[in-house]
Structure 1
């Protein structure tokens, strides 16, 4: 008997094996299906998917044998790692110097072996897809082709597993990053809102109590107050954005559509020149997340009011339902959105208009928050517009009957 030799790049090869996190894992159906198919195609009583680490041959899948591993220096597959051919075939192990007196071969009466190497994209041989038999024999050409093809399929499964691990790690890091940003937003809100409020209060106080202020000084105070208010709006918007996932819970609320719209109107429409029309006007109950939906409508209606350029602003809110989803549209007769900007409006910090009707620049957070909330609700949003005439947002989200 001759033990398999160890290659020069063994350390890198073993690292490549461990990368897939398959050693010492339980059997999995997708791999067991392959060994079962290969055993049938090759008319062999035993088929294995093997992975070879430093000193053993681990069987990720086994057909026809109860072993989970074997010593590397006694393995057929250890020799297959060093074989330059696409398949290593041993027709009669009893006549092969490498396997004469091999205790594993003798115990399991192994005479025939054929193994196709499992080769990763960097060329490292991780193990084999192999078959064994208790008699002297060979493989037909079609059996050889099938064994090679199925070995490639095993590697595809390995790669898919590795990519899934990378995706999970990326999601984990993203989640951690979002949590850090959320914590940061909370800290900023707490530590900056109070000083900003003080600045605005002091500017008002100075304007009222200091009678000798020049027009330029008053202008500076107004600018300071507006800058503080603008920063305060950004802080509020960012805090809402990063806490949007907390607004969407698994609990389902029964929401009166009429009460919801009336509440939104009361919170957003403070100008008698704004008219809100909504349908249906009869009592309708929605089964969804009340807090998230209210926040969505507040953002959409607020935008319609802020960016209207008409003397009389008209906002239409329509609800439709099918068997699975709610569809709500919010349409206004405002300034509209330019065609080259319409695909960007849901991006964080993107502002489609330079300023609102009061000359203030938006934060670019509101519509991004709407899109994020709907994503958590498994819904979606779209927008159509004609510049100078109207804009319509349509939201769709599932009916969540409890």
Structure 2
């Protein structure tokens, strides 16, 4: 008997098998169907999907045997994986030096006299095991049977690849959930931290107005009133964000009836639009039934984006909304610097930065538009961008009507 050698890529092979997380896994019908077909087509009483690790082979699926594996040094499959691109057929094991005195060859009248195994490779061509058929008498596969065995082996490899991708997806989903949880906690903490300074600002404006009203002219008092109102509006938005994040794990979104132009006017007041900016809102004050906090936050980010990334003497921003039976479709169009074509596919990725500095010479942090994408997705909508460098940008997003989300 000749013990199977170790492949030159043994370390890589074992790492690939470990990453697949399939060794000693529970039985699966999709694999069992393949071994049954292999046994039937090749007219052999035994068919196995065998995986080979550092010191043993284990059967992911089996037909015709009761045991689940054995020592690698006694395995036929340990030899088969040495040539990953070729099927190994041993028509009579009693005449092959590798197996002539193997215990499995002479097992009390039940010894294995025939073996044919096709190596099962991963996406990099590394052999992890075999799909094999065995018989207790000498045997020879026809060309059609050899072809069918190879084809069935490809099906097992497809199952391996699907399993690998599912594992990657599960890991990515877990990482994404953990990241979102950290970001949600961060946003919540920041919002809480802002509440107290805002409260102090509101109270201080009242204090100054009462204590020094006789020393201030009309313009000064108006500015104090504006300071207080801005603080109150910002406080309302922060409260809304806190409510949004605290209920983000709930399956019941918060919907309310509101008028679009009302929240747009509040946002424009809050952003302190300068005289060199012209913002047009819809002529018709459309009644919306949706998540007001989310819609407001999306518009806040998009309008602020249009204000920052604009180098024109006069900033022009146009806001519009249309509705159909399923969606509200909102748009924010500006005459800003535009987005380079090579940046458009990644503009909604977290921490993606266009590269141009804003109107005040500052570089963005790449969070705002990724937040927009997350918020739009959360209300059952989609967001798109059309842009031309030096001409302007239009963001369009949809919100699925509330009655269609029930």
Q: TM (normalized to structure 2)?
A: 0.66
Q: How does 1:93-104 map to 2 (within 5 A)?
A: 93=93, 98-99=99-100, 102=103
Query: Once the 2 structures are TM-superposed, how far is the Cα of residue 27 of structure 1 from its aligned partner?
Result: 2.0
Partner of 1:145: 147
Distance 1:318 1:84 in 2: 61
Deviation at 1:51?
0.9
Structure 1 residue 383: Cα displacement: 3.3
SS at match of 2:359: coil
Q: Tell me how far apart the structure 1 counterparts of residues 390 and 127 of structure 2 sit (CA, whole Å).
A: 65
Task: Choose the corresponding residue for 1:320, options 316, 319, 323.
Answer: 323
Matched, 1:86 2:86: yes
How far apart, CA to CA, are the structure 2 residues paired with 1:171 and 1:373?
A: 18
Secondary structure at the residue paired with 2:138?
Answer: coil
The CA deviation string for residues 117-174 of structure 1, in whole angstroms up to 9 with x for no partner, is 2345677543211012344320122322333344344334334433443443344345
Q: Which of these residues, 289, 293, 296, is aligned with residue 295 of structure 2?
A: 293
* Secondary structure of 1:50's aligned partner: strand
Question: Aligned partners of 1:255 and 1:69: how far apart in 2?
Answer: 62
Find the counterpart in structure 2 of residue 24 from structure 1: 24
Deviation (angstroms), 1:380: 1.8
Shift of 1:251: 1.4
Q: Secondary structure at the match of 2:37?
A: helix
Shift of 1:320: 1.6
For 1:312 and 1:75, locate their aligned partners in 2 and report how far apart those are by CA, in whole Å. Answer: 76
CA distance in 1, matches of 2:195, 2:133: 71
How much has 1:92 moved relative to structure 2?
3.1
CA-to-partner distance for each residue in 1:332-365, whole Å, 9 max, x for gaps? 5x53453647837646574777328xx9998765
Alignment of 1:238-253 (within 5 A): 247=248, 249-253=250-254
Partners in 2 of 1:268 and 1:93 — Cα distance? 82
Find the aligned partners of 1:126 and 1:386 in 2 and give their Cα distance. 51
Q: Deviations over 1:166-209 (max 9, x none)?
A: 4433443454445445555666677799789999x99xx9xxx9
CA shift digits 1:307-341 (9 cap, x unpaired):
8979897744323224xx41412355x53453647
1:96 and 1:307, CA in 2 relative to 1: closer, same or farther beyond 3 A? closer
**Contact conserved, 2:259 with 2:285, CA < 8 A, in 1?**
no
For residue 277 of structure 1, give the secondary structure of its aligned residue in structure 2: coil
1:35 and 1:312, CA in 2 relative to 1: closer, same or farther beyond 3 A? closer
Alignment partners' CA distance in 2, 1:56 and 1:326? 59
SS in 2 for 1:147: helix
Gaps of at least 5 residues in structure 1 are 210-232
* CA distance in 1 between partners of 2:102 and 2:363 (Å): 85
| 1:265 corresponding residue in structure 2 | 264
Deviation for aligned residue 1:61: 1.7
Superposition RMSD in Å: 5.1
Q: Deviations over 1:12-37 (max 9, x none)?
A: 25444333211111122332333233
Match of 2:281 in 1: 276
Aligned to 1:225: none
The separation in 2 between residues aligned to 1:314 and 1:302, in whole angstroms, is 10
TM-score, structure 1 as length reference = 0.66
Query: Which residue does the alignment assign to 2:60?
Result: 60
